[in-house]
Amino acid sequence: MTKSSTPDAPTPKLNEHSLSDVRKTATLIDNLTGIRFELPLIDGTLGPKVIDIRKLYTDSGYFTYDPAFMSTASCDSKITFIDGDQGILLHRGYPIDELAEKSDFLEVAYLLLHGELPKASEKQTFERNITYHTMLHEQVHEFFRGFRRDSHPMAVLCGAVGALSSFYHDSLDIHDPQQREIASHRLIAKMPTLAAMAYKYSVGQPFVYPRNDLSYSSNFLNMMFSVPAEKYKINPVLAKAMDRILILHADHEQNASTSTVRMAGSSGANPFACIAAGIASLWGPAHGGANEAVILMLKEIGHKNNIPEFIKMVKDKNAGVKLMGFGHRVYKNYDPRATVMRRSCHEVLDELGIKNEPLLEMAMELERIALEDEYFIERKLYPNVDFYSGIILRAMGIPTSMFTVIFAIARTVGWISQWKEMIEEPGQKISRPRQLYSGAPKRKYVPLHKR
């Protein structure tokens, strides 16, 4: 970045051969001092250019100001690309609808972690590595006993994942690629086991051990629903639907929980602690907690006839009511995951012989009305990934409180891939944003008797 020293100096004319440089810089003019700053423009493979402001403060004394990161690229990543206007989502260049159709969750996990689809032998090795890390240290069972039975499973998951760092001292050195890989495998493998344990603990049933003869999603369903009293029959359609739900939730660029994991990881914290931080952030109803909130909202609406009244409340700012499962910071078009999810919804309900499912009927009517309503159209509010997922999970017998837990199982793959990318970034530094200070100026201490 260059700046002209005297206020009225014209921007140095770039001669012909460096014409391309003009396209490669943005000029910032400080109208207070007349100083001009040339800021480099960087092109990505896809998506918006970025203005490189890394030297802005040292050269100009200014910070930029973007509290919710509406216009800020926090990193350079190769993992996921989203085009919010076109409703496009690519993982390592592959469209999400193709992956949901043709791939499986562990293959997508490999893709996110390593950047390429695995060859047959690589896929087999990866699946085996994950399968043989699904069991937990027996003492983790004791850890669960410390929770109330009615704890929200996200609270249990957050605590249990953080506690894993106390069991796996051999995979905490983040600078050792071997240990990073083992920790990644352990986290991907153990999340379903921990999640199912949180559910079993909440219903007072015995924990079910993972089985190495089952696929990732079938294993999770078995650990969730099998009981000692009778054999649990895995429905392949439901297992496939679960696998697809996990694919759809695997990664999503620099969302709040992923940014949390990157921020925590930038200090050198161990991966288990970082993923626990991601779980905490995902829990919020504006983020991963929305799938649970959608079902609660549909139940509150109660009947299709009440939808117009509800929509009126959503449009009344004072009511403080949001249409959960709608809207997105990036998508100003249909969330491509919602399209796949809605199709899956119909498949699962058909497979289960569930006709005219009231919540699905209501969701579809709500979507139809909202998409025709000016309020939603002008704000470009469309269904997001959370709008239909809860209906499928509920139809599969998953309790509402477990919806975000399932989101966390899937997103662990994205979190750990983004964490790995950050740690392996040459010159990786601790993230430390600055601020606009609007507090009290310097002042003298006032003794108690004078206040």
Residues with catalytic roles: 328, 386
Give 140 or 410: the residue with its C-beta nearer to ligand SDX: 410
| 89 part of the interface to ligand SDX, by CB under 6 A | no
Angle at the Cα of 205 (from 203 to 210), degrees rounded to 5? 115
Q: Which residue has the tokens 């006839």?
A: 305
Instruction: Tell which positions 223-282 bind ligand SDX, by CB under 6 A.
Output: 252, 255
C-alpha span between 29 and 37 (Å, rounded): 6
| 287 part of the interface to ligand SDX, by CB under 6 A | yes
How many other C-beta atoms are found inside a 10 Å radius of the C-beta of residue 81? 17
Give 55 or 332: the residue with its C-beta nearer to ligand SDX: 332
| 322 part of the interface to ligand SDX, by CB under 6 A | yes
**In DSSP terms, which residues pair with 41 in a beta bridge?**
51
Cβ atoms of 285 and 294 closer than 8 Å: no
Give 240 or 252: the residue with its C-beta nearer to ligand SDX: 252
Sign of the CA dihedral 344, 348, 351, 354?
negative
Cβ atoms of 77 and 418 closer than 8 Å: yes
Instruction: Tell which positions 290-309 bind ligand SDX, by CB under 6 A.
Output: 290
Cβ atoms of 195 and 220 closer than 8 Å: yes
Piece of the chain touching ligand SDX by CB under 6 A; list 155-163, 165-173, 181-189, 328-336? 328-336
| 329 part of the interface to ligand SDX, by CB under 6 A | yes
C-alpha span between 384 and 324 (Å, rounded): 9
| 127 part of the interface to ligand SDX, by CB under 6 A | no
Piece of the chain touching ligand SDX by CB under 6 A; list 12-20, 166-174, 324-332, 421-429? 324-332
| 128 part of the interface to ligand SDX, by CB under 6 A | no
Q: Spell out, one character per residue from 365 to 384, where the chain touches ligand SDX: x when CB under 6 A holds, - when not.
A: --------------x-x--x
Q: How far is CA 228 from CA 195, 202, 222, 310, 419, in A?
A: 19, 17, 11, 45, 39
Smallest separation, CB 260 to ligand SDX (Å): 11
| 332 part of the interface to ligand SDX, by CB under 6 A | no
Q: How is residue 436 written in tokens?
A: 């606009």
- Smallest CA-to-CA distance from 54 within 125, 1, 3 is with 1
Q: For the chain, how many residues are written?
A: 451
Radius of gyration of the chain (CA): 25
| 328 part of the interface to ligand SDX, by CB under 6 A | yes
| 342 part of the interface to ligand SDX, by CB under 6 A | no
| 108 part of the interface to ligand SDX, by CB under 6 A | no
Smallest separation, CB 327 to ligand SDX (Å): 2
Piece of the chain touching ligand SDX by CB under 6 A; list 46-54, 201-209, 318-326, 355-363? 318-326
